Amino acid sequence: MFLRDFLKEGSARLESLYPAPEAMNIMLMLCQERIGTSRYTHIVEPGYSVAEEALGQLTADLDMLSSGEPVQYVLGYSEFCGLRFKVGPGVLIPRPETEILCQEAIKACGGARDIRILDLCTGSGCIAWTMALKVPGATVVGVDLSDEAHSIATSQDFSKELEESGAKAPVFVKADVLDDPSSFGDSLFDLILSNPPYIKESEKAFMRTNVLDHEPSLALFVPDEDPLLFYRAIARWSGMLLAPGGTGITEINELLGVETRDLFSRQGFAEVSIIKDFYDKDRFVRYSGIAL
Ligand code: GLN
């Protein structure tokens, strides 16, 4: 079968789930990963045929994609901050806006190396690993209560990057941020980061089925009656574990910017501010250690 026909038929199948350019993009990603073609192979080599032995795998992949399975789960990886992360249905697929959180966090390190970083609700570990690799010398701890998240986060393979940068791999701890951080004793962190669940149940009506039916609800949703429960928990953990002069940065629901900022101010944190995302939406709250 010609590659151009496979791409055309495949993207037509996906068009009931995705806008046409996104459907084609998914097909191109699939072929790039499975058979090593480039985004232009079907254009510059119209006679390029997909090898018979590759078709079985590609067809099975396409069946999964047309049932709404996100392409990152089908391929088993997702790009984040220029790094390739293993992902699977037990963890959220890293979102581009979360890269802003890492950029802000790297800025907050101000070039310091020997820095202690805590990432709450770490999921795939994308924030924890990015910080560990981009701030070599940092000691990074990632916390999540999910077994699946724990096994994915600990199995990320950045051995080459670790060796090149001399960075230390993050340590992943299983714990529920809704409980007290008692197991951390009196350890303190210079930076506390988090992308907790923040979408209200009632917002499900506006979400796409590929997210709703395939990504873990545990990582996404909070009850309508208490949408800030994770921020109260993050504030509690930060109150106990943020070093004097330390900074917290947390991703937030764009509809609850002011409420989330006020929650951190009320808890006594200093310099609490909102950071916007690429769409000019309230997306992060930054706070510093408890005001003395
Ligand atoms: N930003 C993610 C989404 O739109 C949600 C991430 C989260 O709940 N932490 O799906």
DSSP string of 116-164, one letter each residue? EEEEES-TTTHHHHHHHHHSTT-EEEEEES-HHHHHHHHH---HHHHHH
Residues 213-231 pLDDT 10s: 999 999 999 999 999 999 9
Distance 185 CA to ligand 1 centre (A): 31
Task: Report the alpha-carbon distance of residue 228 to residue 162 in Å, rounded.
Answer: 36
**What pLDDT does 195 receive?**
98
**What pLDDT does 183 receive?**
79
Structural domains of the chain, count: 2
The answer on 260 and 182 residing in a single domain is: yes
Distance 52 CA to ligand 1 centre (A): 39
Residues in the chain with pLDDT values less than 70? 291-292
In a domain, 72, yes or no: no
Single out the residue in 34, 67, 100 at which a domain terminates: 67
The answer on 134 and 12 residing in a single domain is: no
The answer on 63 and 96 residing in a single domain is: no
**What pLDDT does 157 receive?**
96
**What pLDDT does 292 receive?**
58
**What pLDDT does 85 receive?**
98
Residue type, 64: M
Distance 121 CA to ligand 1 centre (A): 12
Picking from 211, 224, 218, the residue whose alpha carbon sits closest to that of residue 178 is 218
For residue 44, give its domain range.
3-67
The answer on 250 and 207 residing in a single domain is: yes
The answer on 126 and 42 residing in a single domain is: no
**What pLDDT does 291 receive?**
64
Task: Report the alpha-carbon distance of residue 28 to residue 62 in Å, rounded.
Answer: 12
In a domain, 83, yes or no: no
What CATH number did the domain enclosing 101 receive?
A: 3.40.50.150
The answer on 11 and 148 residing in a single domain is: no
Looking from the CA of residue 97, the nearest atom of ligand 1 is: 1
The answer on 138 and 263 residing in a single domain is: yes
Tokens of 152: 């994915």
The answer on 158 and 48 residing in a single domain is: no
In a domain, 171, yes or no: yes
Distance 206 CA to ligand 1 centre (A): 13
**What pLDDT does 257 receive?**
98
The answer on 141 and 271 residing in a single domain is: yes
Q: Which pTM was predicted?
A: 0.94
In a domain, 80, yes or no: no
Q: Which residues line ligand 1 (CB under 6 A)?
A: 95, 195-199, 211, 220, 251
The answer on 240 and 116 residing in a single domain is: yes
In a domain, 81, yes or no: no
Task: Report the alpha-carbon distance of residue 277 to residue 259 in Å, rounded.
Answer: 17
User: Looking at ligand 1, which residue's alpha carbon is closest to its atom 5?
Assistant: 220
**What pLDDT does 260 receive?**
98
